[in-house]
Structure formats: structure tokens, C-alpha cells
């Protein structure tokens, strides 16, 4: 989905725009799938009420709260856990192509595997939005199996707004998937979508 990236400063000067903040939470892991395929990293996304994949987060009101405080509030609602987000976790701001006058701020934050597990538990047992705005958290498969399973199939699903681009950009920038694996997964996903 098109649209364009803008600076945080430019974004915050647009008082007539709506602002939304979402976050990619991730952790390192030593777990192995089938006892042999290293998981390496865990990345969290969610199945939204509309059937699209996206990141936890939501609309914030810059006139009443900082972006980071607003995002933390949304995370409390959607994950049922306190996840303190700071300005250091900020990644980018994007002017959405549609709807008009919507700015999408993106964050990423590394946590421990134990903290991530606790968030997954809280998302079911404590989040007020569970089963409503959020149908469930999901981990992103970062490996590619010989038959194309894993990241390629995941990328072939449908994503909200530019969250798929946010995911791909973050996987590269944070070095969670090798450039070669990522490139091949994107290509395989395109073939699967056709
Ligand atoms: P309400 O509490 O019902 O208002 O929802 P919310 O505050 O949780 O808002 P939501 O998370 O749906 O985000 C607001 C808008 O941002 C959505 O309508 C989408 O256009 C967009 N959006 C949602 N999730 C993502 C995401 O992961 N990435 C990006 N880039 N945009 C998203
Ligand atoms: Mn939301
Ligand atoms: Mn919400
Ligand atoms: Mn909201
Ligand atoms: Mn809500
Ligand atoms: Mn790595």
C-alpha cells in the first residue's frame, strides 16, 4: 500500500490528522522447531477483528497524551500487560494513502523471551480487547521450510494498511532474517498470492 514516510516532527505538526501507533515486540529464543530448526527470534503480530494481520497498538490523541503514552495505553487494552514504550523505541512515521489524514507511527522493542511469554498469557487472560478488537496474538514464522512453508506463507496473508511493509522493513533492519532469506520469502509469497 502506497503513502509516504514523513518525519516525526512533520507528523506531529499536523494537528488536523489522526495519529495511530503500533509496535513490533520481539525477543531472542533458543527454541528449535521439530527439535532442529532454530527459531532464533520471536516476533509478535495479531489477528485483528477484521480478519487482517497487524501489530498491537491503535489511535492516540497527541493533544492529550504523548505518542508513547498513547501506545502504552493501547497495549494495555490489547495485550493486557504494561509495556513501557519510550522515544528510543520509535522507528518511523507514515502518511497513509487511505483513509485521508491518518498518520501511522511505528515502534519496535526488544524484550526477553520470558517477558514475551508473559504478554502472550496476559493477552488471553487479562486484555479487555481479547476476542473483540483482537482475535489473538500470533508469532511470525521467520524460517522457510523446503516446501515454502513458514515466512512465505505468512507473507501471503492479508495485512492492514502498511503493516506488511513495516514488518519487512523491521525484519531487515533488526537483522531478524537474513537479506537473502527475506528476498526469497517475498518472491515466494508473491507466487502464492497469484
Ligand atoms: P479502536 O480502539 O477501535 O479505535 O481501534 P484502535 O485504536 O486499536 O485502532 P487500530 O489499531 O485499528 O489502528 C487505527 C488505524 O491504523 C486502522 O484503522 C488502520 O488503518 C491502521 N492500522 C492498524 N493496525 C496497523 C498496523 O499494524 N500498522 C499500520 N501501519 N497501520 C495499522
Ligand atoms: Mn489496535
Ligand atoms: Mn485498540
Ligand atoms: Mn483505540
Ligand atoms: Mn478500542
Ligand atoms: Mn539474528
The domain in which residue 53 lies consists of: 3-141
Give domain status of residue 157, yes or no: no
Give domain status of residue 194, yes or no: no
Give domain status of residue 7, yes or no: yes
Q: Is the pLDDT of residue 194 over 90?
A: no
CA atoms within 13 A of residue 130's CA, in its CB half-sphere: 17
Contact 43, 24 (CB under 8 A): yes
pLDDT for 84: 95
Element (H, E) at 182: helix 179-193
Give domain status of residue 13, yes or no: yes
Ligand closest to Cα of 18 equals: 1
- Crossing angle for the helix pair 179-193 and 163-173, nearest 10 degrees? 160
Give domain status of residue 188, yes or no: no
Distances, alpha carbon 182 to alpha carbons 8, 63, 106, in Å: 28, 39, 20
Per-residue pLDDT tens digits for 28-43: 999 999 999 999 999 9
Whose Cα sits closest to atom 24 in ligand 1?
54
Count of domains in the chain?
A: 1
Q: Ligand 1, residue 104: give the atom nearest the CA.
A: 30
DSSP state of 61: -
Grid cell at residue 72: 502504552
Contact 67, 60 (CB under 8 A): yes
CA atoms within 13 A of residue 43's CA, in its CB half-sphere: 24
Give domain status of residue 120, yes or no: yes
Q: Tell me, what CATH number does 129's domain have?
A: 3.90.79.10
Give domain status of residue 193, yes or no: no
Give domain status of residue 148, yes or no: no
Per-residue pLDDT tens digits for 126-163: 999 999 999 999 999 999 999 989 999 999 999 999 99
Residues in the ligand 1 pocket, defined by CB under 6 Å: 20, 22, 54-55, 57-59, 74, 104, 133, 160-163, 166
CA 187–ligand 3 middle distance (angstroms): 32
Ligand closest to Cα of 45 equals: 1
Amino acid at each position: 500500500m502506497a503513502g509516504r514516510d514523513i518525519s516525526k516532527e512533520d507528523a506531529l505538526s499536523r494537528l488536523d490528522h489522526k495519529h495511530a501507533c503500533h509496535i513490533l515486540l520481539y525477543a531472542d529464543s533458543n527454541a528449535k522447531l521439530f527439535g532442529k530448526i532454530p527459531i532464533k527470534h520471536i516476533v509478535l503480530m495479531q489477528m485483528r477483528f477484521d480478519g487482517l494481520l497487524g501489530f498491537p497498538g491503535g489511535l492516540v490523541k497527541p493533544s492529550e497524551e504523548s505518542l508513547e503514552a498513547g501506545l502504552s495505553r493501547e497495549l494495555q487494552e490489547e495485550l493486557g500487560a504494561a509495556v513501557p514504550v519510550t522515544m528510543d523505541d520509535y522507528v518511523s512515521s507514515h502518511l497513509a494513502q487511505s483513509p485521508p489524514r491518518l498518520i501511522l507511527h511505528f515502534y519496535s522493542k526488544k524484550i526477553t523471551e520470558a517477558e514475551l511469554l508473559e504478554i502472550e498469557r496476559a493477552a488471553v487472560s487479562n486484555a479487555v480487547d481479547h476476542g473483540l478488537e483482537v482475535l489473538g496474538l500470533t508469532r511470525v514464522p521467520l524460517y522457510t521450510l523446503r516446501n515454502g512453508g513458514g515466512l512465505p506463507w505468512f507473507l501471503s496473508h492479508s495485512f492492514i494498511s502498511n503493516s506488511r511493509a513495516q514488518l519487512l522493513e523491521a525484519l531487515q533492519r533488526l537483522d531478524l532474517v537474513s537479506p537473502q532469506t527475506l528476498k526469497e520469502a517475498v518472491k515466494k509469497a508473491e507466487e502464492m498470492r497469484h
